[in-house]
Amino acid sequence: MIERIILLENVDPVIFYGVNNSHIQLIKSLYPKLRIVARGNVMKVAGDESELIPFEKKIQEIENYCAEYNLLNEEIIIDIIKGNEPAQTKQEDLIIHGINGKQIIARTENQRKLVKLFDKSDLIFAIGPAGSGKTYTAIALAVKALKSKQVKKIILSRPAVEAGEKLGFLPGEMKDKLDPYLQPLYDALLDMIPAVKLKEYIENNIIQIAPLAYMRGRTLGDAVIILDEAQNTTVHQIKMFLTRLGLNAKMIITGDITQIDLPPTQQSGLLQAMTILKNVEGIGKVEFNKRDIVRHRLVQRIVEAYDKFDKRRVESKSIKESKNEKGIS
């Protein structure tokens, strides 16, 4: 009798073992000649070599399936062990499988354009209104690249620009003050990666979520780097960030130029960068619009209402200025 140790490196053990260890109990029943002990991400298996070799192969197949789809059940385990192909409905425009096998797909034309550009360009600007899925799609592409081992880490960043509240008045230490700015990034990741696995990735710096100021002085290679809310970067900040791009890295810059929270005296770094880099080869750009909004249907109507209000205000200001120039009261 020999003993082998199998490490489950790519999956959440909670999903792999099942509720009340139901999955591991099923595997034990299918391999009665082996002694199997599982704890955490480690499986100890003892038995004859003729039994162990095919067992290890099947466990690897089950782990790969679980890692790809974030889903496992008894029917899938039995299919894999019996050598059958588990039934899976392939969704068009699928990016990855999220929690509980949820299919995360590119839902609009511009989301699909971002997916295609990701393969072609190392730097992409994704610009558009709130709710258009630009950040969510970008993070899904980053998770896919990490899972397929195209990159070794994901780096997500946002400028900590105050929009109505002052950092100093928020409770807690600096991390507690900054976390509200970064929470939307955590929320997207929790849709795609099991909580236990995400915690492990963050603790091991495989996934890094940090304010923009923490990027200074770094060279970011072997990574997908996402800068969210880039409309709130200053000219110097975005230049600093863009020049962090290292070897075997991809960068996605997302922003909404209608929601700039910088002081009126400061120019948005995003607006300047898009102008300066407009004709630079290798840089892609996707402009999302109201038709891409995938939140509640009221969000699109709200955006349209504000657009009409802004347009009327600009027209009214233009008429007033024209009258002043002509001396008309």
Q: What is the pLDDT of residues 23-68, one digit of tens each?
A: 999 999 999 999 999 988 899 999 998 999 999 999 999 998 888 8
Residue 86 has pLDDT above 70, yes or no: yes
Residue 165 has pLDDT above 60, yes or no: no
DSSP 178-227: HHHHHHHHHHHHHHHS-HHHHHHHHHTTSEEEEEGGGGTT--B-SEEEEE
Structure tokens at 320: 């007033």
Summarised one tens digit per residue, pLDDT across range 210-255 is 888 778 878 889 999 999 999 999 999 999 999 989 999 999 999 9
C-alpha span between 213 and 211 (Å, rounded): 6
76 DSSP 8-state letter: H
Q: Model's pTM, two decimal places?
A: 0.75
Structure tokens at 126: 């994704």
Percent of the chain with pLDDT over 70: 87
Structure tokens at 71: 């889903």
268 DSSP 8-state letter: P
Q: How far apart are the first and last CA of the chain?
A: 100
Confidence of residue 283 (pLDDT cuts 50, 70, 90): very high
Region 132-143: mean pLDDT is 94
Confidence of residue 192 (pLDDT cuts 50, 70, 90): very high
Specify which of 41-55, 157-171, 177-191 reaches the highest per-range mean pLDDT. Answer: 41-55
Region 11-24: mean pLDDT is 89
> 255 near 281, Cβ under 8 Å?
no
Percent of the chain with pLDDT over 90: 47
Average pLDDT, the chain: 85
Confidence of residue 284 (pLDDT cuts 50, 70, 90): very high
C-alpha span between 324 and 196 (Å, rounded): 64
Region 252-275: mean pLDDT is 90
Confidence of residue 70 (pLDDT cuts 50, 70, 90): confident
**What's the residue count for the chain?**
329
> 91 near 103, Cβ under 8 Å?
yes
